[in-house]
């Protein structure tokens, strides 16, 4: 905790942006004495390793105590997906991603997010950290991420564009989507079809996107459909939202995708009688 409050993390993260993956993949012999970039790359990899140790991500001989505060900071700054990669012991992959552009269901990273992080690190390293702040002063959200619907650490819009992308835990993602839909269902029942506020329009759009994602994860991950068992009352409730036809269509697509499973059919039948 003392290292974190002293600002060590900011300096370690700065080292990561000096990495050049083209040098690693060039296939030519190199040495630190003759190549300054080789030195920078080594420091960047050591910085990744140090962050992993500070957060307690590693196991075996490199194991260190878990530090929840450091993990929270790294999750916010590096994104949850990249922070989890710290446990794999593959710094080259993390560094290549950080210094490139990437758009997957797990990660939205580009020149803009990289610039925002660098600016944040510069400010924090300059002014230091408030030692009386238990959250370490971190209230950081990337502007590109703030506009996205994220469910279960997955960018729903991007997942719907890349529905065959391998999901680490498709069952967990389907449960997260169902829980999100459940949290929105009561609001939809009170929404009319005329004079919707911007917030109501966004809520409806998020429900439509989540239904599409649920349909996609079911279609592309056989067996996931059984997670809908016990949730058909919710789905049929969404089907009754007459004021929003896209929600009804999305719900119908989900219901149609689960009917290949007899257990789901039985659960639907039990609801009907």
Q: Which pLDDT score, from 0 to 100, does residue 263 have?
A: 96
Q: Nearest-5° angle of CA 159, CA 160, CA 161?
A: 90
Q: Could you report the average pLDDT of every consecutive run of 10 residues in the chain (273 residues)?
A: 72 93 73 77 95 93 91 94 94 95 97 95 73 60 95 98 97 98 85 75 94 98 97 94 90 96 95 79
CB-CB contact of 82 with 100 (8 Å): no
* Domain segments of the chain as ranges: 2-145, 150-272
Cα–Cα distance, 247 to 249 (Å, whole number): 5
With contact defined as beta carbons under 8 Å apart, do 246 and 239 qualify? no
Contacts of 255 (CB under 8 A, 6+ apart): 232, 235, 236, 239, 268
CB 212 within 8 A of CB 161: no
Q: What is the pTM of this model?
A: 0.89
CB 19 within 8 A of CB 37: no
């Amino acid at each position: 905790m003392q290292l974190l409050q002293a600002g060590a993390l900011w300096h370690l993260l700065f080292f990561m942006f000096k990495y050049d993956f083209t040098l690693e993949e060039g296939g030519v012999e190199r040495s630190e004495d003759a190549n300054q970039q080789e030195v920078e790359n080594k420091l960047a990899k050591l910085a990744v390793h140090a962050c992993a140790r500070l957060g307690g991500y590693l196991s075996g001989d490199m194991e260190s105590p878990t530090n929840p505060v450091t993990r929270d900071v790294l999750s916010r700054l590096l994104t949850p997906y990249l922070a989890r990669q710290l446990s794999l012991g593959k710094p080259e992959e993390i560094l290549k991603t950080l210094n490139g552009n990437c758009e997957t269901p797990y990660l939205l990273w580009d020149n803009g997010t990289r610039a925002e992080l660098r600016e944040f690190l510069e400010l924090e390293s300059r002014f230091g950290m408030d030692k009386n702040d238990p959250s370490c002063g971190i209230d950081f959200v990337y502007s590109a991420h703030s506009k996205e619907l994220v469910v279960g650490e997955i960018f729903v819009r991007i997942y719907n564009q890349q529905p065959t992308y391998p999901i680490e835990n498709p069952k967990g993602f389907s449960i997260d989507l169902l829980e999100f839909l459940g949290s929105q269902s009561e609001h939809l029942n009170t929404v009319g079809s005329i004079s919707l506020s911007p917030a109501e329009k966004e809520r409806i759009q998020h429900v439509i996107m989540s239904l599409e994602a649920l349909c996609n994860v079911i279609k592309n991950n056989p067996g996931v459909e059984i997670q809908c068992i016990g949730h058909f009352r919710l789905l049929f409730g969404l089907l009754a939202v007459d004021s929003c036809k896209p929600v009804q269509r999305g719900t119908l697509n989900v219901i149609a995708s689960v009917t290949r499973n007899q257990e789901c059919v039985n659960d639907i039948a039990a609801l009907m009688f």
